[in-house]
Amino acid sequence: MHSSDAVREGLIALLPRLRRLARALAGQVADADDLVQVVLERALARSAQWRPDAALDKWVFAIARNAWRDELRARGREQHLFAPEEAGGMVADGSEARHAQQMELAQALAMLPPDHREVVALVLVEGLSYDEAAVLLEVPVGTVTSRLARARATLQAHLGNDA
Amino acid sequence: MTAIDDDILQAYVDGALDAVDAARVDAALAQDEALARRVRQLRALDARLRAAFDPVLDEPVPERLSALLQPATAPVVPFTVLEGGRGAGAVRRRAPRRWLLPGAALAASVTLLAAGLWWWQSGGGWVRTQGGRQFAAGALTHALDNELASEPDAHAAVAIGLSFRGKDGQVCRSFTVRTPPARAGLACHTPAGWELPVLGPAVPSEGGELRQAASDLPPAVQAAIDARLGGEVFDAQQERAARAAGWR
């Protein structure tokens, strides 16, 4: 099997998780799926670079994280905090009470700087270990844990202690 | 490790402590209510994040994304819009059989596995009653809310047939539940949910191909459609637009 076929079939299986990660990074459904599209295109174009002994999910997640950084740079608002009304649409459906909760969470996530938000997305949403996140982000493990602690403190402050 | 600080509690919650340190935290939590409360707060935040994002795993993947991963050899057969108010069985018989091509079938089975597992796990409560009226519930609501007949999913538990705006202005969709006991019915969108004016046993099509080819609509469902059909059956674009508008 060509590596491009292996990558393509791996991506099919990975697609739901990739969409979840993208949603956690980008917030908006449309932004997240645009990000997924870029990631799929890049992963397919670079499939020759993937070594079958490396975990495909980490390789693809790293592409996603870098693509999202590129997108933020292109928008020129890496430090920009989304206006509250922009933070909606994170999850497509649900009751009104649930929607209000989602909006509150979306706003809290939008408060996070990108390097905090990506740690939340990788560790808390995708379930990567500290070590895996550190390798993916190319930072020391201590940086991952300190970003995570600060991100949690920000979220907790915004959401209240009952989260 | 000496004092149990917030970093250690975080590592505890994230499962990043070794067994010895985790046991020390366990022991401390049993005696220190403040620590125990802090752990509950951390866990509550994690649970809230998962509750917000895990449902993405069950959402239908947009066609523009899955299309990028189609093998180059898989033929893409355009969906044929049905003319007039015919049964879903007619749609199904004309639906492309591309899933049966070896490469595409493998790819499709992988991509649909996650969704399929979810369907099976959440099976059961398809229907609820409220005020003597019958409404879709659970996985059936999810399918009616999200699935498009123009993007048929041969493995999904629910097959959507026709969608149209009825004489009373409600959007209605015919559907077939493929998992036993197979059912077919009509759902019309109301403020209280998808009301089911008719729901009955599905009639297997020739060869009993319930899983692949779906089933013909029972006469009662066909009659319910004919009674409500005011204008044209939605084409792929109208169906998509109706979904975007929340089927209102």
Residue corresponding to tokens 């009952």: A162
Check residue B134 and give its pLDDT.
Answer: 84
Sign of CA dihedral B57, B61, B65, B69: positive
Whether B56 sits inside 8 A of A91 (CB atoms) is yes
Using CA atoms, how far residue A34 sits from A55, A68, B186, in Å, is 24, 10, 34
Do residues B172 and B186 make contact, with C-beta atoms less than 8 angstroms apart? yes
State how far residue B219 is from chain A, nearest Cα, in angstroms.
Answer: 33
pLDDT at site B194: 92
B207 CB neighbour count, 10 Å cutoff: 8
Rounded to 5 degrees, what are φ and ψ at B158? -120, 130
Is the CA virtual torsion B12, B17, B21, B27 positive or negative?
Answer: positive
| Residue length of chain A | 163
Mean pLDDT of A109-135: 96
CA distance A141 to A122: 13
- Nearest Cα to Cα of residue A108 among B1, B52, B248, B91: B52
Bridge partners, residue B194, by sequence: B189
- Are residues B143 and B160 in contact, defined by beta-carbon separation less than 8 angstroms? yes
Interface test with B, best of A1, A8, A20, A90 (most B CBs within 10 A): A20
Long-range contacts from B185-192, C-beta under 8 angstroms, 24+ separation: B185/B221, B186/B221, B186/B224, B186/B225, B186/B228, B187/B136, B187/B140, B187/B144, B188/B228, B189/B144, B189/B247, B189/B248, B192/B130, B192/B133, B192/B135
Whether A83 has a pLDDT exceeding 50, the answer reads no
CB contact under 8 A, B16 and A92: no
Burial zone of B89 (CB within 10 Å; 0-12 exposed, 13-18 middle, 19+ buried): buried
> Which two three-digit tokens encode residue B63?
């066609």
Give the model's pLDDT for residue B123. Answer: 43
First-to-final CA distance of chain B: 59
Per residue of chain B (248 residues), give pLDDT as tens: 458 888 999 999 999 999 999 999 999 999 999 999 999 999 999 999 999 999 999 999 998 998 998 876 444 433 333 333 333 333 333 333 333 445 555 555 555 544 444 443 334 577 887 777 888 888 889 899 988 888 888 788 888 888 998 888 889 999 888 877 777 889 999 888 999 888 877 766 544 444 333 446 777 788 788 888 877 788 888 899 999 989 98
Here the CATH number for the domain that contains residue A103 is: 1.20.140.160
Q: What is the mean pLDDT of residues A12-16?
A: 93
Measured between alpha carbons, how far is B175 from B163 in angstroms, rounded to an integer? 9
Show which of residues 90-129 on chain B sit within 8 Å of chain A, judged by CB atoms: 106-107, 110-111, 113-115
Count Cβ atoms within 10 A of the Cβ of residue B73 and give its class: 0-12 exposed, 13-18 middle, 19 or more buried. exposed
Q: In what order do the strands lie in the sheet with B171-177?
A: B127-130, B133-136, B193-201, B183-190, B171-177, B158-166, B229-233
- The domain locations on chain B are 6-55, 59-244
Angle at B16 between CA B10 and CA B22, to 5 degrees: 80
Q: What is the pLDDT of residue B37?
A: 94
Instruction: Tell me which range, A71-85, A139-153, B55-69, is most confidently predicted by mean pLDDT.
Output: A139-153
For chain A, the average pLDDT equals: 86
Identity (one letter) of the amino acid at A89? G
A129 → closest Cβ in B16, B45, B55:
B16
Which residues share a beta bridge with B186? B174, B198
CB contact under 8 A, A12 and B69: yes
pLDDT for position A66? 95
- Taking an 8 Å cut-off on Cβ atoms, the answer to whether B114 and A92 are in contact is no
**Listed residue (B7, B18, B17) closest to B42, CA to CA:** B7
| B65: nearest CB among A23, A24, A36 | A36
Provide the sign of the torsion angle of the four alpha carbons B191, B197, B199, B204, taken in this order: negative
Distances (CA, A) of B38 to A92, A100, B93, B228: 31, 25, 58, 57
Overall domain count for chain A: 1
Question: Residue A150 is part of which domain span?
Answer: 3-78+85-159
- Per-residue pLDDT at A92 exceeds 60: no
* Predicted local distance difference test score (pLDDT) of residue B233: 85
Q: Is the ipTM of this complex over 0.90?
A: no
Q: Do B53 and A155 touch (CB under 8 A)?
A: no
Residues B107, A8: C-beta atoms closer than 8 Å:
yes
Interchain CB contact of B245 with A (< 8 Å): no
Q: Which residues in chain A are closer than 8 Å to B57, comparing Cβ atoms?
A: 16-17, 19-20
Task: Check pLDDT > 50 for residue A70.
Answer: yes
Question: What is the structure's pLDDT at A76?
Answer: 74
How confident is the model over A129-136, as a mean pLDDT? 95
Q: Considering only CB atoms, which residues of chain A are within 8 Å of chain B?
A: 5, 8-9, 11-13, 15-17, 19-20, 23-24, 33, 36-37, 40-41, 44, 90-93, 101-102, 105, 120, 123-125, 129-130, 145, 148-149, 152, 155-156, 159, 161-163
Tell me which residue of A7, A31, A33, A28 sits closest to A18, measured CA to CA: A33
